[in-house]
Amino acid sequence: MSLDTPYRAIFCDLITDQTLDILPLRDVSFDDYIGKAGSMSGTIPIPNKEIADRVKKVREGRTAVYLERGGDLWWGGIVWTSTLQSSGRGVLTLSLQAATFDSYAGRRRIRTEIKYTDTEQLDIARGLWTELTRGGFQIEFGEEASEVKRTVSWRPGDETVYLEALDQLAALRDGFEHQILVYRDPVTGRRIRQLRLGSPQIRTGATDLIFDRPGAILSYSFPWDATRGGTTALARGASTNSNAAAESRPLVSREQVATDLLADGWPLIDLSSDHNEVTDQLTLDSLAAAELGQARGAVVIPAISIRLGGIVPPALLGRVARVRITDEWFADGLDARYRIIGVKVTPQERGRPDTAELYLEEA
């Protein structure tokens, strides 16, 4: 990285986590989210053969990268693609694209029978991660628990992606959230990759973070989107037709309806989702109800942009932010609590301040 950035990039062997090198990385941006993989992009300048030989240790699909700021790990993931480029003046660079460790679950498929009967749902999630990382890199687990038990199974031959299985399980009514957290052990300093689970939500921290405008909030947005929401929902599952000569029709859930929104004057707006491996009516009902619960009416994901400083901790996902805004729109003042569900960081570079965009949902 350039000399004026507060971050450093640590490249490690994915399986052993042994440090390979610490290399300069410029034009960096990174993000992370609850429930989906985050990304990181950056460019390594290659001014001479010595640096080139060091950069060659970075291998796509086999290398982990961590971004460290002030001794804390702010981001960690897997380098998936790289592009070697030479400019017209002969300047060499290697551009990297990486994704958080969650992305590994999207690269593995279920090829052995997995079956759970009346099993606590977070234990199932930990079991899926145990299977998909078997023989690969290490993920540590917490002791989170919920009171919800599930009966689920996946068959070899269906080629179900592990991430799809996790997301399907998490999307059920009274489901859970999942995320891979990276941090240093406060005693040993060892890098930790830990599966965080929360039912129904991941929550972090005992006190609210407070952001004001005028003040720490540089900018904000409230994008209300009725094209992503609805007032009814239907979930479609696998075909239950065993007669090859007959028309194949999927199993469908009972229609879920937001009667309160209709009574308030909303029109019928339909949501639909496909779950090709679900053969249980009650599971489909639960999936449809959960989808409608998350996308009622118009969907809004507020975002605020803040300047990073000493008061902002690295573990932002799941924290509650108290947002206070006074301006022409919020003339009487907005004072609301939101949970941080996504973070996009643009590090300081060439005079540009170190900023973070926080994506929010109502707490």
Token duo for residue 168: 């399907």
pLDDT tens column, 74-86: 999 999 999 999 9
Q: What is the pLDDT of residue 245?
A: 58
| Alpha-carbon span 77 to 14, nearest angstrom | 9
Which ranges of the chain would DSSP assign to H, the alpha helix? 49-55, 121-132, 162-170, 259-263, 281-294
Torsion of CA 248, 250, 251, 253, to 10 degrees: -150
Closest to 294 measured CA to CA, from 221, 220, 342, 361? 361
Q: What is the pLDDT of residue 232?
A: 97
Rg (CA), the chain: 23
Check if the beta carbon of residue 72 is closer than 8 Å to that of residue 181.
no
Cα-Cα end-to-end distance for the chain: 36
| Alpha-carbon span 169 to 72, nearest angstrom | 32
pLDDT tens column, 35-77: 999 999 999 999 999 999 999 999 999 999 999 988 899 999 9
| Alpha-carbon span 130 to 133, nearest angstrom | 6
Q: What is the DSSP letter of 109?
A: B
Torsion of CA 295, 300, 306, 310, to 10 degrees: -30
Q: What is the pLDDT of residue 269?
A: 96
pLDDT tens column, 253-295: 999 999 999 999 999 999 999 988 788 888 899 999 989 988 9
Q: What is the pLDDT of residue 1?
A: 43
Binned at pLDDT 50, 70 and 90, residue 124 comes out as: very high
Q: What is the DSSP letter of 268?
A: P
Strand 209-213 to 320-325 pairing: parallel
Binned at pLDDT 50, 70 and 90, residue 7 comes out as: confident
**Which H or E element spans position 178?**
strand 177-184
Q: Which residue has the higher pLDDT, 341 or 278?
A: 341
Q: What is the DSSP letter of 87?
A: -
The residues pairing with 357 across neighbouring beta strands, listed in sequence order, are 305, 344
Q: What is the pLDDT of residue 206?
A: 85
Mean pLDDT across the stretch 92-117?
A: 96
- Please report, rounded to a whole number, the percentage of residues in the chain having pLDDT higher than 70: 95
| Alpha-carbon span 21 to 48, nearest angstrom | 16
Q: What is the pLDDT of residue 64?
A: 98
Q: What is the pLDDT of residue 6?
A: 67
Cβ contacts of 75 within 8 Å, gap of 6 or more: 30, 32, 38, 40, 66, 67, 100, 182, 345
Q: What is the pLDDT of residue 188?
A: 93
pLDDT tens column, 189-211: 999 999 999 999 999 988 999 99
Mean pLDDT across the stretch 160-189?
A: 94
**Residue 90: pLDDT over 90:** no
Strands (E), 202-333: 209-213, 217-221, 224-225, 232-239, 250-252, 256-257, 270-274, 299-300, 303-307, 320-325
